[in-house]
Structures are given as structure tokens and as C-alpha cells.
Structure 1
Amino acid sequence: MLIQELEKRLANAERQAAIQVIRARPERKLSQVLEQVDGPRGQALGSVTLTELRESGAPPIVHVDGGPPVNLVLLDRAERARGMEFVGLVRRVFAEAPGWVAIGYLRARVGGPRWKLHHALRRLVGQGEVERTGATSGTRYRINTRPRG
């Protein structure tokens, strides 16, 4: 009985993960998703209905730390963004941040290579939109709450 309950919960979790992954890339074609049905997670992918994809209107999220959940749609968009679009997405993450945050918090939410995030942070700090404190692994950032001027 315990094993059956465990199997049922694992199958449901796998289906929910499949829904999140599919929804995180809305530009993906249905044919690309269907190609994966024969793969190792095909049963979970094949069991997802279009109604489930349509009706779960909130952005897919995952919890990775003590802050707000990671929005997988924003993460995917940020990983593909460049220049000022990426800087804007970093700014959006700061708007939801619970105060001072480390680089790991930001990387979990915008992904991409380290240099890309550091470039955006230098720009935001230079413009006075973000404050920085500390050095090396102790560096923390937060949105600037003081009026600029």
C-alpha cells in the first residue's frame, strides 16, 4: 500500500514537472513536444492535456531558496535576453527580492553566464538603481530605496 501511494505521488509530480517545462517555453511547437513522448519521460509528457496547459494560468514556479519562487517563464526569457532587455529582467527580479540578496539568488532567477549578470549589475549599480555592499562571496545587492538625486 505504501509503495502504491509513493508511485502515485511520484507520477503526479512528474506530470506537474512536465507541465511546467512545457509552459516555460510557450514558443515551442507542439511537434517538438511530441518528439519527446518516446523519450524517458514520455509517459508523463504524453499524459498532459491541452486543458491543463491552458488552465494553469499562473507562471510555472519552483522553490529554490528562502526568497520568492523562481518564475520559470521569466528565467527562460532572461537566459535568451541580451543587453537592456536582460538588464530590465534583472531589475524585475530585484523588485520582488526580499531585501539584500546574494549573486546566487539572482542567478537562480535569471540564469545565464556569470559575466552577463555581472555586467547588468554594474550597470544598475552605476545608475543608482541597485545598492551593493560587501566584497567577494559576501557581496549583497538590493534595490535602491533611497531617492536618487
Structure 2
Amino acid sequence: MQTYRITLPEWDEHPGVEQWAELRAASTMRAGDAKALRRAVRLGVNTGGGWDRTFSMGDADARTDALLTRVIVSWSYEAHGIALPVADPASLDEIPIDAWEALREAIGPHEEALDFRNRATTKSPPGDSSASRTISGAVESPDTSQTTSS
């Protein structure tokens, strides 16, 4: 598995001790990771059958924590008695806020890799040369406005 290490801010309770986390590479994200991220936020249906559009900052935090539990493979906090998030998701509540913010920033590429809403694609029959192309998340269709004269 491809991983990389990030340095986390110093922890006041352990001055002078380097804090770090080892994360899976964004390229290793899989469908199960995307599903876990989606499960982290609950959407309610109101009595009329429509979506309850009430959201909170906690929804973003829940997504972040869900992803961190799947991405952090090792960290220095184990030496301080704090389990890896995969073993105990509540351990993310025990780390310094500056470290959590650094981790949240570090998983930006992971979130992008799992954001299927921005993956605009179209399918065409094999060999169809007029197939639409995906460019930077936007769909570009072939120009069909030109007419031919006989």
C-alpha cells in the first residue's frame, strides 16, 4: 500500500516530541471508502416525502472523521495511549485541534478522489467517434450545430 507521512503540530502536553501521521495515498481510495464517507452524513426525509435540508457543521466533521479512520495507517499518538482511528474512531476527539485541522487539510486529495459528483462521464457505444469527452470534470459534447449542404 502506498503511504506518506505528514508532520503534525507539536502537542503542548508533549513538548519537543515530533508528532506525525502516516496516510494512505489518495490513489489507493476504493469504492468502500466512498461508501463510508457517504454513510457518515444522514439525510432525513420530511413528512411531505422531500429531503430535510437541515445540515450542520457537524456533517462536514463526520465526513472528515469517517475518511480519517480509513486513511490514517499509523500515527505518533499511539505512543501517548491514543489508538488509531480505525480501531477507535473516538480517538480523533482526543488529539489536539491543531493536529485535527492539519489532518483535515491533508485529506483534501482523498476527498477529491472520492467525490463522484464531480466525475462527469458519458458512455458511448464502442467505436462511436462522436463520443462526449470529459475535460476537468465538465462534459464537452461534440458540436452538432453544423449542417451540411447537398
| Bucket of the pairwise TM-score, normalised by the shorter protein | under 0.3
Normalized per residue, the structure richer in helix is 1
TM-score, with structure 2 as normaliser: 0.22
TM-score, with structure 1 as normaliser: 0.22
Task: Tell me: higher relative CO, structure 1 or 2? Use CA pairs within 8 A at least 6 residues apart.
Answer: 2
Normalized per residue, the structure richer in strand is 2
